[in-house]
Structure 1
Amino acid sequence: MKKIILIILCLFINSCKKENSIQNNSSILTTNPFLEKAKLFRSKKLSDSAFIYFNLGKNSFLENNDSLGAGRALVNMAIIQTDNGDFLGGIETSLEAQKYIKQKQDINVLKTLASNYNNLGIASNYLKNYDQSVKYYNEAIKNAVDKENKYVYYNNIGDILTTQGKYKEAIPYLEKAILADSIINHARALNNLAKAKYLLNKNYNPVPEFYQALEIRKKINDGEGQNSSYETLSTYYLDKDKTRSLNFAKMMLKAATNNKSPDDQMLALQRIISLEPATYLKNFNRLNTISDNIQTERNRNKNQFAIVRYDLEGERAKNQTLKAERAQQDNQILLLLMALVLSFAIIIWFRKRQIRLKQEKELEIKNTQLKMSKKVHDVVANGIYQVMTKIENQEHFDKVKALDELEFVYEKSRDISYEKSDDSTEEKNFSEKISELIGSFKNESVNTYIAGNEKSLWENISKNTENEVYQIIRELLVNMRKHSGASIVSFRFEKKEDVISISYSDNGIGISGDVLYKNGLSSTVSRIESIHGAIIFDTKTEKGLKINISFPVS
C-alpha cells in the first residue's frame, strides 16, 4: 500500500511539471508521452505500471479536450483489468470509455469501438453472462475494420452458443470463423466447429478435425491452443474411453503448467481427480493451491486498479480546480499532498496495528481455553475413567487404593487452575507407566498384550511427547472399552533409527471410515499431529481395528 501511494505521488508530481502540446482533434490518432510509456510497460508484461500510465495518459487527453485519446486509454485500461481477472472492473472501465468514443465512420474510431466491444464480450463471457456477451461481439463485428478480427469475433460467438447448447446456431458463425487467414484463428475455429457438429449429431466423427487442429497448434507452438485441444479430446473420450480421457487431461495439465495457464491447470486437475481416484488427495491439494493463488492475485489486482483509479482521479480533480493558481502554489500543494499521504499511511498502519493486537489477544484467549479444555479431558475425564475401569475389571481392587487414585485425580484437576506442571512422570519411568496403563484395562473378558515396551525405547523422549503418547494410548483404550466390544487388545512398540512406531490392534467390531472421528478419536489425531507424527487407520480388515502410529524421537 505504501509503495503504491509513493508511486502515485511521484507520477502526479511529474505530471504537474509537463505541458502537453497536442491539439484537440478526435479524428486523428493522437498520442502523448504517458501513452507511449504505457505501451512500453505493456510490451514488457508489466500490467500494473502500464495501467498507471494509461490512466495518466487519459487524464492528459481530457485536459486537452481529446475525447478519442481518452477513450483509447480507457479501453487499454479495461483490457488490462479483464486480462488480470478483474472482469467487473473491466466492464465498468469499458462502459466509461464508450462516453468518449463518438460513433462515426472513422477508421480510428471504429478500431477503438471494436476493441472495446470485444473486451466487453470477453469479460461478460467470463462472468457467464452469455447473451450479453454475444450482443457485444456482434457490435464488435459491426465496427471491425480488420477482417481477421471479425473471424475472431465469429469464433467467440460460436463458442458461446456451443456452451449454451445452441449447436445449430453456433455452426454458421464457426463456418465463417474457419475462413481466417491466421493459422492460430483457423485452428481454433476448426476445433470448435468439429465440436459443435458432433454435439449436434452424435453420429458425426469429429476426431480427424480435433487432431488436425492439435497438430497445427503444436507446429506453431500455440500453448493456449494446445490446452484447448487436449481439453476437447479429453471431454470427447470421457464417456467412450476413460483411459484416453485421463491421458489427454494429463497432457493438458503438463501443457498448461509449461505455459503458466492456471485456469487451464485447474480444469485439467478437475478432470484428473474425477478419473484417477488413486491420486485424489495430491491433485485435490494442488487444485486448491492454484485456486487460492488465482483468487488472491485477482483480488490484489482488483484492489490495486481501484486504488490507482480512485487516487489519480482525485488528484486530477484537484489539479483542475487549482490550475489557475498552480504557478504560485506548486510548493504548497506538493507539501499538502505529502502530508496527506503520510497521514493516510499512519492511519492505515495504526488501524492495522489495532486489528493485529486485537487478533493476537483473541488468539491467546482461544489457545488458553483450548489448553485448559485439553488438560481437563486428559487429566480428569480419562483419569476418572481409568479408575472406574480398574474398579470394574479387578475383582479385589483395594477401596483405599481407589480413593488414593481419585484423590490424585482431584489434586491434578485442582493444579490445572494454578497452571502447575505435571511432575508425576518422575515417579516411575515411562515404560512402567505405559505397562501399568495398558494392564489396567485387562479383566475377565478383555486380555491385553504388550510387546517391545522396553525402557531403552523411550530414551531421549521429551516430557511433552511422553505426555501426548500416554494420552493417545489411554484414548485408544477408552475408545476400545466404550465402543469395540473387543476381547483381545495388543500393542507392539518398535524403534527404527529415530522413529518410534506403535501398532495397535483389537478383535472388536471395528470402525468404518465414515464414522471414524465420531468415536472420540479426533483428539488422538490432533495429538499425533502436535508431535509431528502420523496415524493410519486400517478399516478394511475383516474384523477388528488396526491402527499404526509413528513419530520422531526428538
Structure 2
Amino acid sequence: MKKLIFLLPVILFSCNKNNRTVKSDRTDYDKAYNYLKTSEKDSAFKYFNKAKDFFIQEDNPSFAGSCLVNMAILQCENGDYYGSQETALSAIKYLNPQKDTLEIVGNYNNLGITCQNLKEYNKAAQFYNKAAHFSQDPIYQLTLLNNKAISYTYLKKHDSAIQIFNKILAFPTIKKHAKVFSKVYDNLAYTKFSQNPEYNAEPELNEALKIRERIKDDDGLNASFYHLTEYFENKDPKKALHYANKNWQIAKKNNNPDDQLKALQKIITLENSNNTKYFFLRYQSLNDSLQTARSKAKNQFAIIRYDVEKIKAKNAENEIELLKRNIGLGTLSVLLIGGIFLYKKRKKRLEQEKELEVKNTQLKMSKKVHDVVANGIYQVMTKIENQDHFDKEKALDDLEFVYEKSRDISYDKEDSKDEQDFSEKISNSIGSFNNDTVKTYIAGNEKNIWENVNQSKQEEIYQIIRELLVNMKKHSKSNLVSFRFERINNEIAIHYKDNGIGISGAVIYNNGLSNVVSRIEILQGQIIFDTETEKGLKIDISFPVY
C-alpha cells in the first residue's frame, strides 16, 4: 500500500516565510532550497544545518524548525529512518502551532512515514492523526487520514481502516480530486480483500486503475499493479504475473528501488523455473546497490553534522581566546600559549576519535554486509546449484531471510535470537555445499559440544565455517571436505581438511582467510595452517568456551 510523502508543501516553506525575515538573513537558507530544487541533497542538508544554527542564535525558532523539518525529510528519503526521527522530534519545540501549521503537518507526516517504514504501525497512525489535526487543507487532511488507515490495515485492524476509508469517500467533493479518490478507493478494496480473501475486489481495483491511467498517476499505478498482483496471486497466477511485470516496469520508471524489489519478489514467485534465474540476479544486484547507497547516505549525513559541529567548536574557542586577550598583556601570554596547546591537543583527539568512529562504523557495516548479504546470497546460489530439482519456494524463503537481514542492517537493528539448534545449523550449512562433485563430511558435531557457548561466539563460529566453505568452493578445486569437532574440558577444536590445491609456500591470506583469522582473534583462540601436506589444506582451530 502506498502513502503520500509530504515533501512539496515543505519546499514552499521559504516562500511562506519571506515576510518574516530579512533577505540578507536567509543566505544559507536560500542556498539550501536552491540545492534542493536541483536534487543536490547532501549540499541542501549541509546548508539547512548551517541555517538552523544561525536562526537559533538569532532567536528565530520558526525558521530553525523549518530547517530541521527539511533535514528530517531528506534523511527519510535516503533511508536513514532513525536519524530522520531524531531530527524531526527535535524540530517540534521550535514550531509554533499558530504560525507554523504547514511545517508541523509536514513534520508529523514525515514521522508517520519513518515509523511505517520501520513497521511501527501504531506510532505511525498516531503521527498521521496529529498531522491531520493541524492541517488546514481539507484534501491534505483526507490524504493523511488515508495514511492512518493504511497503518491500521498493516495492523490487521481492518474494520477501523475500512471505517476511515468510507468516511473519506463520503466527502462531498472527493470525486473531483481524482488522485486522492482513486488512492482511497483502491486501498479500501485491497483492505476488504485482506480481511476476507473471498471478497471480489477485482471491479473496484480495476476502476481505480482506470482513473490512475487516465490522470497518468505513476505512483498510483505502482500501487494498483501491486494490489492486483496480490489479488490474483492465488486465483489466477498467469494474470498475477502480468500485473507483477507491469508493477516492475512502473517502479523502474518511478526510480523506486524498494518497489522494484517487491515486484521482483512477486515475479520470482510466479515465473516458471526456467526464467527465475534472470530475475533472481536482477534482485540480487539491485538489493546490494540499495543497501550500499543507504549506508553511504547515513554516514554522509553524520559526517556533515560533525563537520558543522567542529566549525562551531572552533568559533567558540576563538571567542574565548579573544576574551582572554583583553584581560591583560602579562596574563595573555601564559594563557594564550596554554590555551592554543590545549586546543590543538583536544581538537586532534576529537578528530581522531571521530575518524575512528566513522571507520569503525564503516567496517562494522562492511562486515555485516559481507556476512549476511554476500555470503548469504552465495550460499543460496550454492543450494540452487546443488539441487537436482529446483525448489523455488525454498529458494524464495532463503532469499526473503537474506532480504530481511539486509533491511535490519540498513536500519541498524540488532540481530534477533536464532531459535534453531546450533549443531543443526552448522550441519545444514556444511551440507548445503554437498553435491555430485564435492562431498562434505562432518564428525563430532553433537549438541553437547556447544553447551554454554553464548550467541555472539556461536555467530563468529558459524561465520568462520561458512568462510572456509566459500573459500573452498571458490579456490580449492577439492572434491572431499571434512570437518571434525571435539571438546576437551572448556576448549573446543575444529579440524578442517580438504584435498584441493592447497596453499603453496608461505600462507597468503585472501579476503576469506583473513576474515577467519580476525574472527579467531575475537574468540581469543588460535589457528594453524598445515601447508606441508602432500595435497590439500588442513586447518586446526581452537578456542576457549568462556
TM-score normalised per structure 2 = 0.56
CA separation in 1, counterparts of 2:111 and 2:355? 35
Amino acid at match of 1:164: L
Match of 2:28 among 20, 28, 34: 34
Query: What residue identity is the alignment partner of 1:516?
Result: N
Aligned with 1:239: secondary structure?
coil
> CA distance change for structure 1 residues 154 and 27 in 2, over 3 Å: closer, same or farther?
farther
Q: In 2 relative to 1, CA 340–245 (structure 1 residues): closer, same or farther, beyond 3 Å?
A: same
Q: Offset of 1:193 from its aligned partner?
A: 1.2
CA distance in 2, matches of 1:33, 1:514: 61
User: SS of 1:165's equivalent?
Assistant: coil
Instruction: In structure 1, give the amino acid aligned to 2:53.
Output: N
Deviation digits for residues 92-139 of structure 1 (CA, Å, limit 9, x no counterpart): 00111112224x4x2x32222111111111000000001011111111
Q: 1:47 to 1:519 in 2, by over 3 A?
A: closer
1:507 equivalent in structure 2: none
Aligned to 2:500: none
Which residue of structure 2 lines up, in the alignment, with residue 244 of structure 1?
239
Alignment CA distance shift 1:63-1:92 (3 Å): same
- Structure having the higher Rg: 1
Q: Distance in 1 between matches of 2:476 and 2:192?
A: 59
Q: Distance in 2 between matches of 1:152 and 1:35?
A: 29
Q: Structure 1: any 5+ residue segments left out of the alignment? A: 1-24, 357-511, 533-554
AA aligned to 2:86 is: E
Partner residue, 2:44: 50
What is the letter of the counterpart of residue 36 of structure 2? R
Distance 1:75 1:169, change over 3 A: same
Query: How does 1:103-252 map onto structure 2 within 5 Å?
Result: 104=97, 106=98, 108-178=99-169, 179=171, 180=174, 181-202=176-197, 204-252=199-247
Which residue in 1 is equivalent to 2:298? 302
Please tell me whether the aligned partners of residues 154 and 176 of structure 1 are also in contact (alpha carbons under 8 angstroms): no
* Change over 3 Å in CA distance of 1:45–1:328 after alignment to 2: farther
What RMSD in Å do the two structures reach over aligned CA positions? 4.2
Cα offset, 1:213, TM superposition: 1.8
Shift of 1:266: 0.4
Q: Residue 255 of structure 2: SS of its match in structure 1?
A: coil
Shift of 1:165: 1.4
Aligned to 1:374: none
SS of 1:32's partner is: helix
Is 2:86 aligned against 1:92? yes
Residues 415-461 of structure 1: per-residue CA shift (max 9 Å, x gap): xxxxxxxxxxxxxxxxxxxxxxxxxxxxxxxxxxxxxxxxxxxxxxx
- Contact 2:105/2:134 (<8 A) preserved: yes
User: Which letter maps to 2:108?
Assistant: Y
1: CA distance, partners of 2:312 / 2:280: 48
User: How far is 1:316 from its partner?
Assistant: 2.4
**In 1, Cα distance between equivalents of 2:439 and 2:186:** 55
Q: Secondary structure, in 3 states, of the residue corresponding to 1:99?
A: helix
Conserved? CA contact 2:433–2:440, under 8 Å: no
Which AA in structure 2 matches 1:46? E
Q: Are positions 1:265 and 2:240 aligned together?
A: no
Partner of 1:77: 71
Q: What pairs up with 1:13-24 in 2 under 5 angstroms?
A: none
Q: In the alignment, which residue of structure 1 is the partner of 2:514?
A: none
Matches within 5 A, 1:530-541: none
Q: Structure 1 CA distance, aligned partners of 2:353 and 2:316? A: 28
CA contact (8 A) 1:26 1:66 kept: no
User: Offset of 1:173 from its aligned partner?
Assistant: 1.8
For 1:92 and 1:163, the matched residues in 2 are separated by 24
CA distance in 2, matches of 1:122, 1:210: 24
Deviation at residue 195 of structure 1 after TM alignment: 1.2
Distance 1:301 1:182, change over 3 A: farther
For 1:34 and 1:326, locate their aligned partners in 2 and report how far apart those are by CA, in whole Å: 26
Offset of residue 88 of structure 1:
0.3
Distance in 2, Cα, partners of 1:203 & 1:526: 50
1:326 offset after TM fit, Å? 6.8
Judged with a 3 Å threshold, the aligned counterparts in structure 2 of structure 1 residues 246 and 28 are, in CA distance, closer, same or farther, namely: same
Shift of 1:296: 0.7
- Describe the SS at the equivalent of 2:94: coil
Q: State the partner residue of 1:432.
A: none
Is the 1:26–1:69 contact (alpha carbons within 8 Å) kept by the matching residues of 2?
A: no
Distance in structure 1 (CA, Å) of the matches to 2:269 and 2:434: 24
Checking the alignment, whether the CA contact within 8 Å between 1:74 and 1:94 is kept in structure 2 is yes
Q: What residue in structure 2 maps to residue 290 of structure 1?
A: 286
Give the drift of 1:90: 0.3
- What is the CA deviation profile of residues 200-235 of structure 1, one whole-angstrom value per residue up to 9, with x for unaligned ones? 345543222212222222233322221111100000
How far 1:163 moved relative to its partner?
A: 1.6
Aligned counterparts of 1:29 and 1:145: Cα–Cα separation in 2: 23
2:513 corresponding residue in structure 1 = none
Q: CA deviation at 1:517?
A: 4.9
Change (3 A) 1:37 1:514: closer
Per the alignment, do residues 65 and 272 of structure 1 end up closer, same or farther by CA in structure 2, a change over 3 Å counting? same
Q: How does 1:410-421 map to 2 (within 5 A)?
A: none
> After the TM superposition, which residues 499-538 of structure 1 pair with which residues of structure 2 at under 5 Å, given as runs?
515-517=434-436, 519-520=438-439
Rounded Cα–Cα distance in structure 1 between residues aligned with 2:152 and 2:87 = 26
| Corresponding letter in the other structure for 2:162 | I
Q: Which amino acid in 1 is paired with 2:146?
A: N
1:11 is aligned to none
Could you tell me which amino acid in structure 1 is paired with residue 140 of structure 2? N
Task: Note the residue ranges of structure 2 that are not aligned, 5 or more in a row.
Answer: 1-16, 326-336, 364-430, 442-467, 478-546
Matches within 5 A, 1:351-430: none
Q: Given residue 254 of structure 1, which amino acid in structure 2 is its aligned partner?
A: Q
Q: Any conservation in 1 of the 2:434–2:440 contact (CA below 8 Å)?
A: no
- Quote how far apart the aligned CAs of 1:78 are: 0.3
